[in-house]
A = this chain, B = another copy of it.
Amino acid sequence: MTETLAAPAVGGDDVRDGGAAVESAVLATCRAARAASRVLATATRDRKDAALRAVADALVAQASRVVEANARDLRRGAAEGLAGGLLDRLRLDEERLVAVADAVRDVAALPDPVGEVVRGQTLPNGLRLRQLRVPMGVVAVVYEARPNVTVDAAALALKSGNAVVLRGGSAARETNAVVVAVLREALSAQGLPPDLVSTVDEHGRDGVQHLMRARGLVDVLVPRGGAGLIAEVVRSATVPVIETGTGNCHVYVDAAADLDAALAIALNSKTQRTSVCNSAETVLVHAAVADAFLPPLLTAMASAGVRLHGDDVVLAAAEGLDGVEVEAATDEDWATEYLALELAVRVVPDLDAALAHVDRWSTGHTEAVVTRDLATAERFAAEVDSAAVMVNASTRFTDGAQLGLGAEVGISTQKLHARGPMGLAELTTTRWVVTGDGHVRA
C-alpha cells in the first residue's frame, strides 16, 4: 500500500462520470478557500497569531481524538503491509502531537511577512510607489503520509495570510481528516472562516488531479515528498508549482583544503542525517591530496557504516585499508541520491574537473568546497549553479532554521520565485500600490 501518485490514473466511463462530480467538489473547495483567504489577507498579525495559538491548544486538547484516528491508520497500514519506516512516519502519538503543537506556536512567534514594503519611491512626476508583500491567496500542498505536515503546512500558510488546501497520503487519511477537523473548529471558534484549512483527501487520486488544474483558484502548489510525487505534479499541474527537495549534493576537497576540516565536513555532510535532501552523496577529491586524504576519509566513512563506491584511484587507495571495502562506481552512482549510509568518491585532476562533475550530476541543491585558497572558493561559489554553496561548511546547513529563516515550507530546487529554503516570505507575492493626484499618461 505504498501509494505513489506516479501510478497510472484509472480509466473507464464510470470513473469519468465520477470525475465530473469530483471536479466540481474540488473546485467548490478551492472557491471556498479563496473566499476565506480574502478574510485572512487583511487580518492583523495579532489576529493571525491568536488563531495559531488556538490551533496549537486545540491539537493538545483533542489529542486523544487525533491519536485514535492515527491508531486506525496504523492498524490499516500494518495490515496492508506498509514498511516499518513508513509506519513510523505515519505515527502521531501524544508526545509527537505536543511537539507539532509547539511548532505551531513557533510559527506564531515568527515575524509577519505581510505588509512589508519591498521597494518604494516617489517618481519625478509625483506618483508614490510602494511594492507591498501580500499573501498568495490559496496555497495547495500535496504530500505523503506524514500527518505532521498537515499541521505544519497549515500553520505556515495561515501565518503568511493564505488559505491552504491539503492533499495528504491516503495511508494517513483518518488522521488527516481529524486533524483538519480540529483545525477548522479552532479557526471557527476564533471567528475566522473554517475554509482557511481544507482537504481534498476524500476525493482520492481523481481529486488531486483536479486540484493541480484548478487554475485561477490555486495560486501556488507545493509538492512535498519524493522525486516520483514531484515529477507527477510537474507533469500534470497547470497551476504554478514550486518544486522541492531532491538533493544530489557534493563535497569538493580542494588541493588547498585543511584536511582535518575536510574530513569533519565530509563526515557531517554524509552521516549526521542520511534521509534528508541536504546530505552529501558524492565526495570529490583533488588529485594532489588524494594520497593524504583518501585513507582517513575511507576509513572514517567505513567505520561510520557507510557503503562506499569509488573510481579506480579510490579503489587502489582502499587496498590494504583495514575494514574498508569499496565497490567500483558507475555513472549510476554519480547520479544517485542515496539518502542512506552510502557514498560515491571520485578523484579529480583539478577544480575545472570538479566543477564539470558537479555541472553534470548535481540536482542544483547544495555543494560544498573545502579550501584555504580564496580564488578557488570564489570560483566555486560563482560557477556552481546550485541553490546553495557552502565554503568550508557542511552541506547540512541548507535548512531554513539553520540559516535563520525560521520554519521552512520546503527547499526549492527550482530557480523561479524561491530557491533554497522557503520561509514565510516565499508564501507571499507582492502588489504595486501607486498613489497619484489625478495622474494620467501624456
Could you tell me which A residues sit within 8 Å of B by CB distance?
38, 41-42, 121, 123, 127, 129, 134, 136-137, 215, 219-220, 234-235, 238, 240-242, 258, 260-261, 264-265, 267-269, 272, 359, 377, 381-383, 385-394, 396-398, 402-404, 414-417, 419-420, 429-441
What distance in Å separates the Cβ of A406 from its nearest Cβ neighbour in chain B?
Answer: 13
Q: In the complex the two chains form, what is the Cα distance from A437 to B436 in whole Å? A: 52
Query: Pick the contact of A394 from B381, B435, B441 — CB < 8 Å?
Result: B441
Partner of A441, one of B241, B385, B397: B397
Kindly list 12 other residue pairs between chains A and B, CB separation below 8 angstroms, not including A127-B393, A388-B433, A403-B432.
A123-B404, A215-B234, A219-B415, A272-B441, A390-B436, A393-B434, A397-B434, A403-B434, A416-B416, A417-B417, A419-B430, A419-B432
> How far apart sit A394 and B434, CA to CA, in the bound complex (Å)?
10
Known: A272-B441, A420-B432, A432-B403. A240 touches B415 (CB 8 A): yes
Question: Closest 9 CB pairs between A and B?
Answer: A393-B436, A261-B438, A268-B440, A415-B429, A417-B417, A393-B439, A388-B432, A240-B416, A391-B435
| Residues on the B chain within 8 Å of A437, using CB | 261, 392
Pick from B38, B258, B417, B439: contact of A397, CB below 8 A.
Answer: B439
Contact A431-B129, Cβ < 8 Å, known A215-B234, A265-B440, A441-B396: no
6 CB contacts below 8 A, A to B, read A41-B385, A235-B238, A394-B441, A397-B434, A403-B432, A419-B431
Please indicate the chain B residues that have their CB under 8 angstroms from the CB of A387 in the complex. Answer: 431-432
Give bound CA distance, A373 to B196, whole Å: 31
Q: Give the docked Cα–Cα distance between A434 and B397 (Å).
A: 9
Give A323 to B429 CA distance when docked, in angstroms. 45
Are the CB atoms of B432 and A398 closer together than 8 Å?
A: yes
In the complex, what residues of B have CB within 8 A of residue A238's CB? 234-235
A320–chain B nearest beta-carbon distance, Å: 29
- Decide: B381 and A433 in contact? CB cutoff 8 A: yes
Among A267, A388, A417, A439, chain B packs the most CB atoms within 10 A around the CB of A439
Contact B416 A417 (CB under 8 A): yes
| Cα distance, A394 to B387, chains bound together (Å) | 40
User: Please, which residue of chain B has its CB at the minimum distance from the CB of A121?
Assistant: B404
Q: Which residue of B lies closest to A42 (CB)?
A: B382
Report the Cα distance A385→B219, complex, angstroms.
Answer: 11
Per the bound structure, the CA–CA distance linking A387 and B131 in Å amounts to 10
* Candidates B129, B391, B415; contact of A220 at CB < 8 Å: B415
Which residues of chain B have C-beta atoms less than 8 A from A383's C-beta?
A: 38, 41-42
Across-interface contacts of A269 in B (CB, < 8 A): 440
Provide the residues of chain B in CB contact with A381, threshold 8 Å.
431, 433
Please name all residues of chain B whose beta carbon is closer than 8 Å to the beta carbon of A258 when the two chains form the complex: 438
From B420, B430, B436, B440, give the contact of A391 (CB < 8 A). B436
Separation of A390 and B123 alpha carbons in the complex (Å): 14
Q: Which residues of B contact A267 (CB under 8 A)?
A: 440
CB pair B419–A429 under 8 Å, yes or no, is: yes
Q: Which residue of B is nearest A355, CB measured? A: B38
User: In whole angstroms, how far apart are the Cα atoms of A438 and B394 in the complex?
Assistant: 8
Given known contacts A127-B397, A258-B438, A416 and B433 CB-to-CB distance under 8 angstroms = no
CB distance from A83 to the nearest CB of B (A): 27
Please measure, in the bound complex, the distance between the C-alpha atom of A434 and the C-alpha atom of B393, giving whole angstroms: 8
Report Cα–Cα, A167/B392, bound state, in Å: 43
**Chain B: minimal CB distance from A90 (Å):** 27
Complex alpha-carbon distance, A389 and B127, angstroms: 12
Distance between Cα atoms of A300 and B414 in the complex (Å): 50
A403 to B264, CA, bound (A): 51
Q: Are B235 and A433 in contact (CB under 8 A)?
A: no
